[in-house]
Each structure stands twice: as C-alpha cells, then as structure tokens.
C-alpha cells in the first residue's frame, strides 16, 4: 500500500485509502435503511409495469441522498429488464436536451453522436417506453437544470402519449427554496411523493466513521476520542458525512506525514483547519471579482492591523465597514479596477456572510453612530493567499 505522499513506504495508519475516498460506497449504509426501503417502495410499482409516482428527495449536503438512491438503482437494475433506473448528474447534464440524450443513450447507441434534434429524442423516448418499458430518471442536483419546467412538461406529454410504459422522475436536491421558481404544474408533478433525509447526528457519524476506520485504517490506528471529536465537529457542520470522511482522511494523512501510527485529537484539529481552508478555497474560486476584492481588503486589514479602529474596537477581530470600504477602493486602484458603490459593497458583504466567509454585526452606538462590523471567518493569511492567487494581486 502506498501512502499519500506517493512514496512506497508502507503507511502505518492506512490500510486501504480507497475506503476513505468520497467515491467508495460501503456495503451497508447505516441509518439509511428506512429511506432506502421507502425509495424501493416508490419505484417497485414499475416491476408490475405501473408507472411509479414521481419522487422528490430533499436533504442537506452529505446526508446520504446520492448513495442511497444509487444503492436502490443497483438492486433495481439487476432485477428487471422491463424497467430501468438511469442516474443523471444534473450538474453536468443541466438541460432538457442533455438529460434526454444521456438517458436514452443506453438504448440508442447512435445518440452518442450529437446533432439530433429534440424531436428525435422525444420520439425515441416514446418508442422505448411505448414497448412497455418503465424508465425512471434519477435527476441528482435537479435544481441545476436550466429548463426544468420544459423537461417536466415534455415528460408529462410523453406519458400522455405512451400506452403501456412510462417515464418518471426521482429528483434530488439540497436546495429547499428552489421549488419556488417552478411553474405550479411542474411543482405538483415533481412533488407527487416527497422524502426528507435528515442530517446525521453526532452519534450516527461516530458509527459511520467507525465503519470506515475499521476497513480503511490499520488496526488501532485511531483513538475512540479522535472519532468522537471528528463526529462532534462534523455535527456542527450540518452533519455532512462527506466532511466527516474528509476530516478522517486528512487526519490520517497528518499522522502519516509526521511518522505517527495513530490518529489522535491533535491530528483531527489540524486536519480541520486544512479541510476548512480547502473548502473556503473552493467557495472563493467561484466568486465574482468584486467579492474577492472585498474579501482581500478584509483580510489585508485583519492581517496588517486597522489604522484607526483600535480606539473604539468592541470585540477582538471586528473591523469597521467604512474602513474596509476604503481599503477595497485602494485595492481596486492598485489593480486598475473601478470600485463599485457603497450600495454594491453592502451586497457583497451580505453574499460573503451567506457563504460563511465573514460574519457581520451592528455596532452599538459609538462615536460615529451605528455601523456594520466585519470579521473574517478564517485565518487572514490563508485567505489573502487564496484571493491573491485568484486575482493576481
């Protein structure tokens, strides 16, 4: 077994790194038996050649939605030739056209080539389902589809035309508010059946981590206390199992790099900082330029000290909004950009806060009246380096 740095010396911590990767799906998915059974219940009518009701699954990131549905799909597809579940990641296949093309490719290999019109796809779908096939489309991250109303409309129309088979949807999303933008008719069609995946609790995460540690790590390579800490930290972060696994993986890497043979609380704490920075970096990379420049200004003052806020500072680490705006203007000037108005600047602040990159609060009435106070959510040096790299500052 190679360790993470790629060297061939055997790891004293890891037994099988694949088990800890986000792509690994364990045989048993603890705490999701009920959800898996419910999904089976919905899709099983396809086995009697009845069109299943559409199903909508909601749950926060890392609550096991994708793995659970994929587990049902494996069982389902091995059982029945007259019905099939097709998994579609809508982050990649994000339009009606691409989804239909992807879904029908397995039946009509020539669709691998592009250039077919929507009508052609539509007719193929009717032909396939019309032979008595029950086609179930799993639309993971369904909120990413640009023309979902049109897709649902097309499927509804197809179902009206098809006599013996049918096409139905299992939609998955972690965005609760996305249904508000849907046409009322699509909404009621999509939400025929609804299911919620609750986030994992700290106790449940312990169990999930233990399961992975047993097969992924060397014997006794992790303290019970380190497992508990990983679970507790993750429970605070919305119970995201993916985060828990990342943390475990990183902590193992930390232990390996320092030549230890055991993951302790110390490695978990270090890993947490690393993982948080990695996640922040991913978030920041998707931000428009002005947001990044504001973030840069905040980090810069946080790191190099405030010029005049000290006198009135109320709480460690909070900066005055006005001072940050001035710094933002300087940063813009330096990179030959025009600073946006204060009104926009407040928009940026509120976006940054939503993403957890900063926190803000109102000051109590001081010398200059009420003002917004801003604090960076991460280490200023780290953020400065990330934004600096993105923007060339």
Ligand X SMILES: Nc1ncnc2c1ncn2[C@@H]1O[C@H](COP(=O)(O)OP(=O)(O)O)[C@@H](O)[C@H]1O
CB of residue 129 to ligand X, shortest distance in Å: 27
Number of residues located near ligand X, criterion CB under 6 A: 19
Give the footprint of ligand X on residues 6-25 (CB under 6 A): 22, 25
CA pair distance 136, 151, nearest whole angstrom? 14
CB 75 within 8 A of CB 68: no
CB of residue 20 to ligand X, shortest distance in Å: 9
Q: Which helix (H) or strand (E) holds 124?
A: helix 118-130
Out of 139, 144, 235, 245, name the contact with ligand X by CB under 6 A. Answer: 245
Q: Which residues have CB under 8 Å from 149's CB, separation 6+? A: 182, 183, 186
Out of 3, 54, 63, 66, name the contact with Mg ion by CB under 5 A. Answer: 66
263 binds, among Mg ion, ligand X, none (CB under 5 to 8 A by kind): none
275 binds, among Mg ion, ligand X, none (CB under 5 to 8 A by kind): none
Which of these ranges, 62-70, 121-129, 142-150, 329-337, lies near Mg ion under the rule CB under 5 A? 62-70
Q: Which of 380, 355, 392, 361 is nearest to 297 (CA)?
A: 380
Q: Which of 180, 177, 182 is nearest to 169 (CA)?
A: 182
135 binds, among Mg ion, ligand X, none (CB under 5 to 8 A by kind): none
The reply to whether 217 sits near ligand X by the rule CB under 6 A is no
Which of these ranges, 34-42, 59-67, 106-114, 180-188, lies near ligand X under the rule CB under 6 A? 59-67
Choice between 141 and 327, CB closer to ligand X:
141
Choice between 205 and 387, CB closer to ligand X:
205
Out of 67, 108, 309, 355, name the contact with ligand X by CB under 6 A. Answer: 67
- Inter-CA distances, 129 with 119, 189, 218, Å: 15, 19, 50
Q: Which residues have CB under 8 Å from 279's CB, separation 6+? A: 243
Give the footprint of ligand X on residues 32-51 (CB under 6 A): 32
232 binds, among ligand X, Mg ion, none (CB under 5 to 8 A by kind): none
- Residues paired with 263 in a beta bridge: 222
Q: Which helix (H) or strand (E) holds 95?
A: none
The angle subtended at Cα 376 by Cα 373 and Cα 379, nearest 5°, is 155
67 binds, among Mg ion, ligand X, none (CB under 5 to 8 A by kind): ligand X
The reply to whether 96 sits near ligand X by the rule CB under 6 A is no
Q: Which residues have CB under 8 Å from 161's CB, separation 6+? A: 126, 130
Residue 376's CB is within 10 A of a number of other CB atoms, namely 22
The reply to whether 35 sits near Mg ion by the rule CB under 5 A is no
Which of these ranges, 61-69, 187-195, 283-291, 359-367, lies near Mg ion under the rule CB under 5 A? 61-69
CB 374 within 8 A of CB 325: no
Q: How far apart are the first and last CA of the chain?
A: 41
Choice between 162 and 241, CB closer to ligand X:
241
Phi then psi for residue 163, to 5 deg, are -90, -55
- Residues paired with 197 in a beta bridge: 59
Choice between 166 and 171, CB closer to Mg ion:
171
63 binds, among ligand X, Mg ion, none (CB under 5 to 8 A by kind): ligand X
Mask for 194-213, x = binds ligand X (CB under 6 A): --------------x-----
DSSP 8-state class, residue 217:
B
> Is 24 strand, coil or helix?
coil
Out of 52, 64, 166, 171, name the contact with ligand X by CB under 6 A. Answer: 64
Handedness of CA 219, 221, 227, 233 (dihedral sign): negative
Q: Which residues bind ligand X (CB under 6 A)?
A: 22, 25-26, 29-32, 59, 61-67, 208, 241-242, 245
Interacting residues toward Mg ion by CB under 5 A = 66
């Amino acid at each position: 077994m190679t360790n993470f740095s790629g060297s061939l010396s055997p790891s004293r911590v890891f037994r099988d790194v694949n088990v800890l990767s986000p792509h690994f799906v364990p045989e048993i998915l603890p705490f999701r038996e009920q959800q898996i059974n419910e999904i089976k219940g919905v899709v099983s009518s396809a086995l009697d050649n009845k069109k299943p009701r559409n199903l909508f699954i909601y749950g926060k990131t890392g609550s096991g939605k994708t793995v659970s549905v994929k587990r049902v799909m494996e069982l389902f597809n091995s059982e029945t030739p007259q019905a099939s579940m097709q998994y579609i990641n809508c982050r990649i296949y994000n339009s009606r056209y691409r989804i239909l093309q992807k879904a029908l490719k397995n039946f009509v290999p020539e669709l691998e080539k592009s250039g077919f019109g929507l009508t052609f796809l539509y007719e193929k779908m009717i032909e396939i389902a019309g032979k008595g096939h029950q086609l179930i489309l799993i639309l993971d991250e369904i909120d990413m589809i640009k023309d979902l109303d049109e897709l649902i409309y097309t499927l509804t129309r197809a179902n009206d035309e098809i006599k013996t088979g049918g096409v139905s949807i299992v939609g998955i999303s972690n965005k609760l508010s996305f249904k508000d933008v849907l046409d009322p008719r699509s909404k009621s069609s999509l939400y025929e059946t609804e299911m919620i995946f609750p986030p994992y609790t700290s106790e449940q995460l312990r169990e999930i981590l233990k399961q992975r540690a047993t097969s992924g790590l060397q014997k006794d390579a992790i303290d019970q206390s380190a497992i508990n800490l990983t679970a507790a930290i993750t429970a605070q972060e919305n119970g995201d199992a993916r985060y828990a696994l990342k943390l475990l993986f990183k902590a193992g890497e930390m232990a390996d790099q320092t030549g230890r043979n055991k993951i302790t609380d110390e490695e978990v704490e270090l890993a947490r900082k690393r993982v948080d920075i990695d996640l922040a970096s991913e978030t920041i990379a998707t931000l428009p330029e002005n947001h990044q420049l504001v973030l840069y200004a905040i980090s810069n003052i946080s790191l190099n000290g405030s010029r005049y806020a000290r006198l009135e500072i109320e709480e460690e680490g909070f900066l005055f909004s006005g001072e940050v705006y001035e710094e933002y203007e300087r940063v813009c000037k330096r990179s030959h950009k025009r600073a946006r108005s204060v009104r926009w600047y407040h928009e940026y602040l509120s976006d940054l806060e939503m993403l957890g990159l900063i926190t803000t609060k109102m000051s109590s009435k001081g010398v200059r009246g009420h003002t917004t106070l801003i604090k960076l959510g991460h280490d200023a040096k780290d953020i400065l380096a990330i934004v600096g790299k993105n923007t060339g500052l």
